[in-house]
Structure 1
Amino acid sequence: MLSGMRPTGRLHLGHYHGVLKNWVKLQHEFECFFFVADWHALTTQYDDPQGIQDNVWEMVIDWLAAGVNPGSATIFIQSRVPEHAELHLLLSMITPLGWLERVPTYKDQQEKLREKDLATYGFLGYPLLQSADILMYRSGRVPVGADQVSHVEITREVARRFNHLYGRDPGFEEQAEAAIKKMGKKNGKLYRNLKKRYQEEGDMEALDRARALLKEQQNISMGDSERLYGYIEGGGKVILPEPQPLLTPDSKMPGLDGQKMSKSYGNTIGLREEPDAVEQKIRVMQTDPQRVRRTDPGEPEKCPVWGLHQVYSDDATKEWVQTGCRGAGIGCLDCKKPLIDAVIEDQKPFLRRAQEYENNPDLVRSIIDEGCEQARDAARETLVEVREAMGLQYR
């Protein structure tokens, strides 16, 4: 299983509840590779790379502080494993341009980042670099949110196309061409046209129509039908296994203003925030705007503080908040006190573990060095097979 993050510096509690908590769990269930996606950072920050290196080390310390264990998972930096770049290059030789242009986040990100010039191959090709990241380790599962499923789907399509082109048995193409002739001139011509549209333009409608066309054929055997399914969408020896998305639960971590916790909103609590800073941030949080005086009843669902209670408080505390707020039996500072205690208590192990790594940066670098070597060993094995399949393994 593989997952990664762009190096954006120190992480916040939204990262922990949205990603890292899941990583800590998965590292005991799968062989996990967790990587710092520094090349991916350059797809949008190519004109301002200063700080990426510092951000890398800060983020890795946060991973370790959160409980990611280098004894249970391989932690590495993407650019320290140059095999990723080679596989990306080789896959770019077979990937239709239309497949990249139809990735939903391509146009979405261009719209959101209008101030940047994103008319670059690096930005267009970043989903293919992601595919190379995943396929390099033959990952069976890729933990993603619902909005990232399309990236796993294009990875599946690229793997299928690669296997189709380079993993076929001898005589596969000749047998497929013979089967097309059995379909008759009209249906054969239609099949070829649909095959071309799918493989060259990434037209999913063409793939669906081709599948439907094959189901209607009476003049070909079941074996020929299966062969023609593989001929259009991939088939033969599996060199690069197709990964499956492993949907992660949506993060329920709200920010200090009730919106999703995000650096861009300025509403975060850092993973390694000092207790005094945590207390101050929560104490000054906005509450129910209708509750002006201490004696006014409030509505917890309209208060950002309630969102944090739902993450950190037990049932008894939540019931106390609901009753006390609606009946004006407690004030807003009363309501915040158990929340402050809970967040600070939850962060104690993060701060304790982080201190060890902050005091010993050589230890962090040695963990990364070892992880990069482990990742390179796995990557080299994959590339040997890829090069052989593509006729590039010279001896």
Structure 2
Amino acid sequence: MIVADEFKKMLNAGIKENAASFKNMFAMLPKFSKVIFLPCALNDTSLIISSSMPTEKTMRMSIMDQFGVFCSAVVARRLKSDFVFVSALVEPMTIAYLTGAPLSISSTMSVVVVKPAEEMTIFDRLANIFGHYFFYIFFIQLPIPVAKFFYGQENPEFFKPIENTLLFSNNHKFTDLPTARTHGLIEIGNLEEEDIVLTEKIDTKIKNFIDSNKFDGFIIFSMSTYSNDGELEHEIMGNFSSVFKKFPKIGFVWRINEIPEKFQAENIQVFKWIPQRTLFNHPKAMAVITHCGQNSFLEAVTAGLPIIGIPTMGDQFPNAKRAKYRQIGVVLSPNNLTETTIFDAIQKIQLDPRDDEERRLTPKSSKSETKNFSLFTPWGLFMFVISDIKLQIFII
């Protein structure tokens, strides 16, 4: 919790300065590494790798996070278990390494150079190489000596390179830029229980506002719950409020702790919390203004909702770029949130010449195709999981 609180404070500082927080992230790496190496540091792993471990395979499969892969792999290998990975972070180098896909490290977009290949200069490509290798060293190479420190080196088999395997990625296939891939990569970011989303209870105040006949539709404005706690600088808050008032036929559901009275208006409703996924899937939802965090980004794409992205850190920048590249959103710089830029972004979404169905068609279709998980699951997964009727799964 101490690490998480310190990391959060650093992110808040970056956002309040209206700047991308790469500097803050690099400053936090020594503390953030504690989280990455947590699988080795957990006390209960000493029981898992005790001398009483069985000599025959008792666990059919282990499911592991991609962070600190060797710490988890040692445990799985001591259990004589096969393993697959689950990745919350869409990081191309690590995903390619674990799934056996070739990766063009100069042209594949990273969090260091947030551009598609056709827009990169020679300097962008050099920076991109650095960015990908940084993640390779940090996520793949550094955990090896850490794992050896915790678990000893009596059996070199425990520390051999990770075999190519399956990786379930918290991503949406529709948003990917062109890149090489294998059947080992399975996107699960748009899998959700539709019935739960559509029946989630909406607060009466929110429901009355979004269903009002005064508005043709509504736009959700919700920045990161984790990073900025529903806060914005006074000037930026005023810019958004002034622009919202210029669209009286659109309701704005603003997730923020509070706004000054002078910024309030009939078409603006402030809420400290909103049922985000349910609102995204509401028939009157027109767009979402978001930081493009992974969950918000995936929920918007899955709902087929146009995005106005304001990325402030890390993977939010690639997510926003993907939205723009796929023509499902526009991107605003956190350093230039003026009335003009905000107005132009909303107007661009509102005046899009494509009709509503056309704008939402591709992500909606992608969602329907993956509603049945078995339809897109590679045969290898079936053989890997189902072949042993006495399946046992160990989550690391």
Question: Which TM-score bucket, shorter chain as reference?
Answer: under 0.3
Per the normalisation by structure 2, the TM-score is: 0.26
Greater radius of gyration (CA): 1
Per the normalisation by structure 1, the TM-score is: 0.26
Higher strand share: 2
Structure number with higher relative contact order (C-alpha < 8 Å, ≥ 6 residues apart): 1
